[in-house]
Amino acid sequence: MKKGIMQVPAGVSNRHVHLSQEDLEKLFGAGYELTKLKDLSQQGEFAARETVSVIGPKGIIEGVRILGPVRKETQVEISRTDGFRLGIDAPVRQSGHLEGTPGCLLVGPKGVAVLEKGVIVAAIHIHMSPSDAQKANLKDGDKVTVFIGGQRPVTFHEVLVRVHPRFRLELHLDTDEANAAWLNNGDKVWMVKDQQSLSMVG
Amino acid sequence: MKKGIMQVPAGVSNRHVHLSQEDLEKLFGAGYELTKLKDLSQQGEFAARETVSVIGPKGIIEGVRILGPVRKETQVEISRTDGFRLGIDAPVRQSGHLEGTPGCLLVGPKGVAVLEKGVIVAAIHIHMSPSDAQKANLKDGDKVTVFIGGQRPVTFHEVLVRVHPRFRLELHLDTDEANAAWLNNGDKVWMVKDQQSLSMVG
């Protein structure tokens, strides 16, 4: 990795829902199983054919994609833009860190699920395999800087590195971040290990 | 300005429309005049009580605020997120640079306006008075770097400086950019004159 710089493909996450089996059955009926629409880049993850409506105090967003497989806890990932539309003040969180987050109402074809918590804006992060991490001299939990060139050049600071054998090298960011940087799914970005750019305003 | 750094308040621009008198009359009736809801921070500009619907091939956004006074040409400013919702591939442009931009349909209480062009995503920029520009050793057309701290720290590069006696010091950015940086209207950001942060990925 020359001068601590590495190219990483971007994966833009539109709003989506991970469901527990319990909530899946509330929404789609007893014993229901998700059907695969397509595999996602991260091994074992898939976009399901099924969608739900997400409802907050100020609005509704229909047709929100469910990602499989089912998880231990239901988690709704939205952008801050979606949060304003729904009237839900969702915080920036890492996946799975749901304590103290707001809830919402999910509506499916067979019923509703009233969530007491679980609505988050996912924190920007980079997935990588142990071998990519070794090449980049990084470990799980490290933070890096990401630079995106083009017509809206942007630097994202303090981007979390997640290392796992099942992970494929990819920057995950939401639609607000992608649109602010005029970025499309699959575009390459620069990951910079040292955070020189922060030092200038320190 | 210590070390070429200056604090600037942010003004977050939600989607809005500037109308020509001709289009205003198509939408609201012959001889119509806009009524002021409130003054904006830039001298002479105001948010009107009136709103319109913006329609594209894939969607409609209702209640889009009109800003006054009327202009020579109608201009619709949306975010890239709005563009996906409407199905309009609006480019990043400076205000008034409308050549080759896509159009849309506007619907008001008395009629419609079919725009052949005028839909843009406004380029991020900083307004400042000649005296602020002198303090910062900047001139109209210069580009600067803007750093936003907080829970989603972001640097915006190549931010255009606009200098005019009527301008008040303010960073103007759209909702995608503001949400990517978790920024609220009136928050202070750092403007950095030299673009050291770009040199690291040059």
**Tens digit of pLDDT for each residue in A82-123?**
999 999 999 999 999 999 999 999 999 999 999 999 999 999
Q: Is pLDDT at B199 greater than 80 in this prediction?
A: no
Q: Is A195 in CB contact (< 8 Å) with chain B?
A: no
The number of C-beta contacts closer than 8 angstroms across A and B is 86
Do A33 and A72 fall within a single domain?
A: yes
Do B102 and B30 fall within a single domain?
A: yes
Which structural domain, as residue segments, surrounds residue B139? 5-12+124-198
The minimal CB distance from B197 to the residues A79, A155, A158 is found for A155
Residue B42 binned pLDDT confidence (cut-offs 50, 70, 90): confident
Do B113 and B141 fall within a single domain?
A: no
pLDDT mean over B21-35: 98
Q: Is pLDDT at B197 greater than 90 in this prediction?
A: no
Q: Is pLDDT at B201 greater than 50 in this prediction?
A: no
Look at the alpha carbons of A41, A45, A51, A52 in this order and tell me if their dihedral is positive or negative: negative
pLDDT mean over B65-92: 98
pLDDT value at residue A42: 84
Residues of chain A whose pLDDT is less than 50?
196-202
Query: What's the CA gap between A42 and A129, in Å, rounded?
Result: 11
Do B61 and B132 fall within a single domain?
A: no
CB A146 within 8 Å of CB A189: yes
Least confident of A146-155, A190-199, B20-29, B31-40: A190-199
Which of B106, B122, B138 is the last residue before a domain boundary? Answer: B122
Residue B195 binned pLDDT confidence (cut-offs 50, 70, 90): low
Do B65 and B106 fall within a single domain?
A: yes
**DSSP codes joined into one string, B26-70:** HHH-TT----EEEE-SSTT-EEEEEEEEEE-SS-EEEEEEEEEEE
| Nearest partner of B57 among B100, B105, B112, B114, judged by Cα | B105
Which of B67, B89, B122 is the last residue before a domain boundary? Answer: B122
Do A102 and A26 fall within a single domain?
A: yes
CB A201 within 8 Å of CB A154: no
Residue B200 binned pLDDT confidence (cut-offs 50, 70, 90): very low
Cβ B179–A92 below 8 Å, yes or no?
no
| Nearest partner of B176 among B9, B8, B12, judged by Cα | B12
Do A115 and A186 fall within a single domain?
A: no
pLDDT value at residue A202: 35
CB B99 within 8 Å of CB B117: yes
Residue B61 structure tokens: 């956004």
pLDDT mean over B79-98: 97
Query: What's the CA gap between A128 and A11, in Å, rounded?
Result: 13
Q: Is B89 in CB contact (< 8 Å) with chain A?
A: no
pLDDT value at residue B97: 97
Do B87 and B139 fall within a single domain?
A: no
Q: Is B185 in CB contact (< 8 Å) with chain A?
A: no
Query: What's the CA gap between A138 and A144, in Å, rounded?
Result: 9
Q: Is pLDDT at B52 greater than 90 in this prediction?
A: yes
pLDDT value at residue B56: 98
Amino acid at B9: P
- Residue identified by tokens 């898939």 is A46
Do A71 and A109 fall within a single domain?
A: yes
| Nearest partner of B192 among B144, B123, B131, B158, judged by Cα | B144
Which of A106, A122, A138 is the last residue before a domain boundary? Answer: A122
| Angle subtended at Cα A37 by Cα A36 and Cα A42, rounded to the nearest 5 degrees | 75
Residue B106 binned pLDDT confidence (cut-offs 50, 70, 90): very high
Q: Is A80 in CB contact (< 8 Å) with chain B?
A: yes
Residue numbers in B near A190 (CB within 8 A): 201
- Count of structural domains, chain B: 2
Q: Is B180 in CB contact (< 8 Å) with chain A?
A: yes
Q: How far is CA A94 from the centre of its chain?
A: 8
Residue numbers in A near B159 (CB within 8 A): none
pLDDT value at residue A2: 52
Q: Is pLDDT at B3 greater than 60 in this prediction?
A: no
Do B62 and B147 fall within a single domain?
A: no
- Interface residue of A1, A152, A156 to substitute, partner B, most B CBs within 10 Å: A152
Do A21 and A113 fall within a single domain?
A: yes
pLDDT value at residue A41: 86
Query: What's the CA gap between A93 and A123, in Å, rounded?
Result: 5
Do A21 and A108 fall within a single domain?
A: yes
- What CATH number did the domain enclosing A141 receive? 2.40.40.20
